[in-house]
Amino acid sequence: MTTRPRRITQVFETDIPRPRSHKVLASQHFLKLKEQVTEAVHEEAVKAFQAGEREFAR
């Protein structure tokens, strides 16, 4: 989700069943998905931080 305006940028589908055991949470499939989601959130956080710095500098 972007910061402003708020828009959904990506949808991550998963077929990982619930409840999720420790074995599932340590699986390569889960860890890859977690990495993708974390990277997407990080990219938007960096953009928001940079935009905030520009607004603050005015």
Q: Domain range spanning residue 3?
A: 1-9+28-58
Structural domain includes residue 16: no
pTM for the whole structure: 0.73
Each residue of 16-55: pLDDT tens digit?
989 999 999 999 999 999 999 999 988 888 888 887 755 5
Structural domain includes residue 47: yes
**pLDDT at residue 19, rounded to an integer:** 94
Q: Is the dihedral of CA 32, 10, 6, 39 positive or negative?
A: positive
Structural domain includes residue 40: yes
Q: Can you give the three-state secondary structure of the chain, one letter per residue?
A: CCCCCCCCCCCCCCCCCCCCCHHHHCCHHHHHHHHHHHHHHHHHHHHHHHHHHHHHHC
Structural domain includes residue 35: yes
- The two tokens of residue 32 are 């890859």
